[in-house]
């Protein structure tokens, strides 16, 4: 499974990249606004840190506007992935941009039918939002299972990019289902390494080592 981080915080991205944990980055207008920096400047800096796909979202809602913005975003770096909403105009833009060689992430997916349409439009990635479904008392991971089954039935190349991830358990469940990618906030990705028994083990080893009176260096 590929790990993307869902943030526009360059320091966090660099930290995860240095640990070898990062395959890509997803951003959105809300995350860019939170950074307080210029949109294109942030995307350009992220693309220099991460070799994998970096999703940059259009803000236009019409086909022509998405194409103009998408083509402009592609000029920032070769690894920019144009992010479009799952609407009819978004699907049209996806098809056109993909035909021109761009990577496209179709976002805000909440149903298997929507995911099927995105794959038909040739999307590089489909982003189903599991956490937001959980918020309205639906099982977000059930959607991932449905999409995996449909894509496998027909051999679609579109990668399932599990988004709106809130917990380490979301990541584990996505991996068990066979999702291609998961994108999560930095704290959730780093939290995967945490376990109370690991902490207890380290504490015990250090206590025993101290008793020896030795040092490694």
**Average pLDDT over all residues of the chain:** 96
Q: Is the pLDDT of residue 212 over 90?
A: yes
pLDDT tens, 86-135? 999 999 999 999 999 999 999 999 999 999 999 999 999 999 999 999 99
Average pLDDT over residues 144-165: 98
pLDDT of residue 36: 87
Supply the residues annotated as catalytic: 83
Cβ atoms of residues 51 and 22 within 8 Å: no
77: its two tokens? 């770096």
- Sign, CA dihedral 184-190-193-197, equals negative
Instruction: Band the pLDDT of 168: cuts 50, 70, 90.
Output: very high
Q: What band does 34 get if pLDDT is binned at 50, 70 and 90? A: confident
Does 25 have pLDDT greater than 90? yes
Packing angle of the helix pair 168-177, 140-154 (nearest 10 deg):
20
Say what the pLDDT of residue 35 is.
87
Categorize the per-residue pLDDT at 178 as very low, low, confident or very high, splitting at 50, 70 and 90.
very high
Compute, in degrees rounded to 10, the torsion defined by CA atoms 115, 105, 14, 30: -90
How high is the pLDDT of residue 48? 96
């Amino acid at each position: 499974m590929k790990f993307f981080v869902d943030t526009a915080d360059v320091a966090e991205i660099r930290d995860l990249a240095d640990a070898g944990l990062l395959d890509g980055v997803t951003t959105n207008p809300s995350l860019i606004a939170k950074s307080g920096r210029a949109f294109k400047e942030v995307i350009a800096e992220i693309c220099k840190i991460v070799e994998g796909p970096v999703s940059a979202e259009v803000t236009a809602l019409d086909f022509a506007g998405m194409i103009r913005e998408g083509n402009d975003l592609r000029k920032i770096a070769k690894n920019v992935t144009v992010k479009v909403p799952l609407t009819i105009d978004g699907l049209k833009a996806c098809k056109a941009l993909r035909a021109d060689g761009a990577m496209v992430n179709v976002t805000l997916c909440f149903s298997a039918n929507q995911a099927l349409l995105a794959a038909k439009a040739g999307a590089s990635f489909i982003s189903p939002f599991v956490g937001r479904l959980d918020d309205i008392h639906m099982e977000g991971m059930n959607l991932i299972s449905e999409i995996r089954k449909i894509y496998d039935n027909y051999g679609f190349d579109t990668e399932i990019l599990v988004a709106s991830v809130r917990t380490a358990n979301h990541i584990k469940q996505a991996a068990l289902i066979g999702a291609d990618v998961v994108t999560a906030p930095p704290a959730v990705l780093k939290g995967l390494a945490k376990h109370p028994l690991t902490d207890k083990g380290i504490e015990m080893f250090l206590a025993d080592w101290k008793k020896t009176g030795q040092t490694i260096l």
